[in-house]
A and B are shown apart, each in its own frame.
Chain A
Amino acid sequence: MYNSLTNRRSFIKKMARLSAMAAAASMFPGILFASEQEDGIPKGANLDWKKGPCRFCGVGCGILVGTENGKAIAVKGDPNSSVNKGLLCVKGYHQTMCIQSKDRLTHALVKKNGTYVKTPISEALDIVANKMKDTIATHGKDSVAMYTSGQSTIPEGYVASKFMKGAIGTNNLDCNARLCMASAVAGFLTSFGADEPMGCYEDIDHADYFITWGNNMAEMHPVLFSRILEQKSRRGSKVIDFATRTTRSSTASDRSILFEPQTDLALGNAICYEIVNNGWVNKSFIEKHCNFSKGLTKMGYGMEDKYKFKDKPEKIDFDQYKAFLEDYTPEKVAKYSKVSVKDIKYLASIYGDPNKKVMSLWCMGVNQHTRGTWMNNIIYNIHLLTGKISEPGNSPFSLTGQPSACGTAREVGTFTHKLPKGVVTNPKHRELAAKIWKVPVEKIPSKPTYHTTEMFRAVDRGDIKFIWTQAVNPLVSLPKTSRYRPAMKKESCFVVVSDVFPTPTSDVADVILPASWHIEKSGLYGNSERRTQHWDKMVEGPGDTTPDAWMFIEVAKRMGYGDLFPYSKENHVEEIYNEYRQFHEGKKHGMAPLEVLKKESGAIWPYVDGKSTQWRFNAKYDPACSNGKDFHFYGKPDGKAVIWQRPYEPAAESPDSEYPFWLNTGRVIEHWHTGSMTRRIPVLHKAMPHAYVEFHPEDAKALSIRNGEKIKVTSRRGSCILPASINERGLPTKGQVFVPFFDENMMINDTTLDAFCPISKEPDFKKCAVKVEKA
């Protein structure tokens, strides 16, 4: 890795400081050092501070980037941002350090006779356009695909959708938010008919209890977690960590309750059982505002190619739901969940207490789950049964992972089934898209095609002949990369990769396009609390680097679609956003005008009459409520939310005598996803230089494994060698190992399983069976 620091002594001091900060973080999860942000600012520097959102994670902290002579010199938290109130985490402070990395992709590279040749960007875009056009002419429009990102900006996602669905006429567009947020989306749509949280971060200031479901916020959402800890210390709020692994979040919580992987389904139902059978149901709320439904069960796990599933919802009544819950008494569930009856009752009593405000928070543990949609439904069930929803402090809050998984992937709709408003299967939604895009409505196909896993299976089968990826590194982040890496190397598919740095994905590309980094272009992101944030370009990118949106537009023009993309190079972000806003006009999803977003540190949609709507569906706060009642779940035609009957079903693969350990994968605070950016930031790379496999000390002792010893982790799909970690960062439960996935040199996803939730199509990265042995 490139070390940009030349003064060794100041570097050592920085490392010493970072070591102490890391030690402090292990003792005080969520600890923040505001003065760190001033570090590195040269004395006497005359910096021009420009506002924007952070590049890493879905919290959406406001940042101020100090520039001088065209270079980004420093980053600090934006004190005007209500998200982070001037604070940042360790990734946030150091984010701009990666852009000067020596191996930055500065020019297009085209593979000729097996070697990459530096090529002018206009020539490379000619090659991409011609190849795409020829492939469509020979094999049809569904032979080309695009795979984008929750790190793409709103204009980038919008142009990608318009290009693929409106201009070319294929739904072969999906994004990496399928790997992290699809179950959240499916949960919202099935329970409420409208995506994204009803509450906002201000809920933190009102809640009495925070229950985190499989969610290590201290490392993944550190600034929000620090806000929670502040409430714990100031108001005596309680934090309950409910998970399968002991983490920094657990140690900072009032209680840590551990459960057996996959049994969260049963435990959620057991909490509902207790609520119903102890008379804690808010009867008036459910009578006025809720329906009960059940869907199909035993759906399978999608492990076979071309797997199809369509749920068949059926209305039930409260008594049927109550009878269903009889299978989930605390006594029955305690037997297989490894959570005591007392702890199940304790959790239920928190939700059941009418005088306590409860915030549930979750992210990948619930979403990356073969029954992820069901898990989201079950958490909403708990809040709906008790009426603890859509009001300050009573909030089921699905956190998002990427900076614009909400703004771009979910709101613009860079999924195969989505349009900027609604879904491709709805004729009215297609008509609206056709009108705004100025294309014939029949151009937009009415059937979804490939979700992410199936898209890469189609590459492997040879059905997809051309794929273009942007701001994404699927050959590290997909499950079962042991199948998809060889697939992407096949001659049958032409691969175009647009990125900022070389990655294992760009290693297999036929054309590599040099993308602008976040602050080298203007853009907009949308965070977890429906907040849209704008930034202006802050510095010039090196060489031929170009914003992804502009590369799409240039290719579209070369393919003959120029009249659909009449944007100017200088002002395309503004022009695209103004066009996109038309999709969401109205009280239910109105987006703030750009002039407001330029001035303020973001605004929450629905933005109505110059105001952000902080709590949706509650008539006191949401002007879109129109049923004359106190709550209106207007995403559903009858204005009622749905309480779903969702059973416990086992994981797609469980430990057995041959593969006796659960494998859980995840992230660490120092690195963002696959590490392509953060591993190029020296302080972060040195703080966490490589991945590891975490053991429970008793398992390590039984296997005579010592800390640091090389261990081979093997599943039915592949293997990976990593050093053992015992009693260090985290503590898995006995019979479980944990591996972070950021390290491209230790590819744990070669071993993971590409089983997914049949409703959301989101893979489960948290549960498969492995064996471990000394390497």
Chain B
Amino acid sequence: MPIKSYLAHPHDNKKVELLTALSALEECEVMPATNEDVLVLVTDTLDDASEELLKAKIEKIKSLKLLAMVSGFNSPQNQQ
């Protein structure tokens, strides 16, 4: 049950597009900065394989310039 957080940097003037694209993905929670061109992204997936698939999907988003992982947690199911 991995939970990971990232800083997602958009291409110039593409912050809204990136926000829209990331928000459309079920396992993603996105929080845009109010005054900078960066978004906080938290992913919550079932297992490592799903996490990998999700990451691949995210990296294909055209408005994304850079995805930098900040933290990774693994929450066992019985602790939910």
Contact = CB atoms under 8 A, between A and B. Distances in A.
Interface of A: 7-9, 12-13, 15-17, 19-21, 23-24, 27-28, 30-36, 87, 226, 229-230
B22 interface: no
Contact of B35 (A8, A12, A27, A229): A229
B33 A17 contact: no
A218 to B, nearest CB: 13
A564 B32 CA distance: 54
B18 interface: no
Given A13-B44, A28-B38, A32-B35, A20 B79 contact: no
Nearest to B43: A16
B69 to A, nearest CB: 9
B34 A16 contact: no
Contact of B40 (A9, A12, A15, A20): A20
Interface in B59-78: 68, 70-73, 75
B78 to A, nearest CB: 10
Given A9-B1, A19-B70, A20-B40, 10 more contacts: A8-B79, A16-B4, A16-B5, A19-B5, A20-B41, A20-B71, A23-B68, A24-B40, A35-B31, A226-B35
B79 A24 contact: no
Interface string B1-38: 10111110000000000000000000001011111101
A489 B28 CA distance: 54
Contact of A20 (B1, B34, B70): B70
B40 A33 contact: yes
Which are the 5 A-B pairs with shortest beta-carbon distances? A16-B5, A20-B5, A19-B71, A20-B40, A34-B34
Q: Which of A16, A17, A33 has the most CB of B within 10 A?
A: A16
Interface of B: 1, 3-7, 29, 31-36, 38, 40-42, 44, 68, 70-73, 75, 79-80
Given A8-B80, A20-B42, A28 B75 contact: no
Contacts of B71: 15-16, 19-20
A202 to B, nearest CB: 18
B31 A33 contact: yes
Q: Is the interface of A mostly helix, strand, loop or mixed?
A: helix
A173 B38 CA distance: 49
Given A9-B79, A20-B40, A15 B33 contact: no
A35 B6 contact: no
A9 B33 contact: no
B59 to A, nearest CB: 17
Contact of A13 (B3, B34, B70): B3
A13 B33 contact: no
B54 to A, nearest CB: 14
Contacts of B1: 9
Nearest to A11: B75
B42 A87 contact: no
Contacts of B35: 30-32, 87, 226, 229-230
11 contacts: A8-B80, A9-B79, A16-B42, A16-B72, A17-B29, A20-B6, A21-B40, A23-B7, A24-B33, A24-B38, A87-B35
Contacts of A24: 7, 33, 36, 38, 40
A35 to B, nearest CB: 5
B33 A32 contact: yes
Nearest to B32: A35
Nearest to B69: A20
A417 B40 CA distance: 50
Contacts of A19: 5, 70-71
A409 to B, nearest CB: 32
Contacts of A8: 75, 79-80
A75 to B, nearest CB: 16
A12 B70 contact: no
Contacts of B7: 20, 23-24, 27
A525 B68 CA distance: 41
Contacts of B5: 16-17, 19-20
A569 to B, nearest CB: 42
A41 to B, nearest CB: 14
Contacts of B3: 9, 12-13, 16
Contacts of B41: 20
Given A19-B71, A20-B71, A23-B70, A13 B42 contact: yes
Contact of A31 (B4, B29, B33, B72): B33
A568 to B, nearest CB: 43
B80 A9 contact: yes
A9 B36 contact: no
Contacts of A13: 3, 29, 42, 44
Contacts of A36: 31
A217 to B, nearest CB: 15
B14 to A, nearest CB: 17
A17 B75 contact: no
A489 B35 CA distance: 49
B80 to A, nearest CB: 5
Contacts of B70: 16, 19-20, 23
Contacts of B40: 17, 20-21, 24, 33
B3 to A, nearest CB: 5
A17 B38 contact: no
Contact of A28 (B4, B31, B33, B79): B33
Contact of A17 (B31, B32, B34, B36): B31
A32 B40 CA distance: 11
A33 B7 CA distance: 13
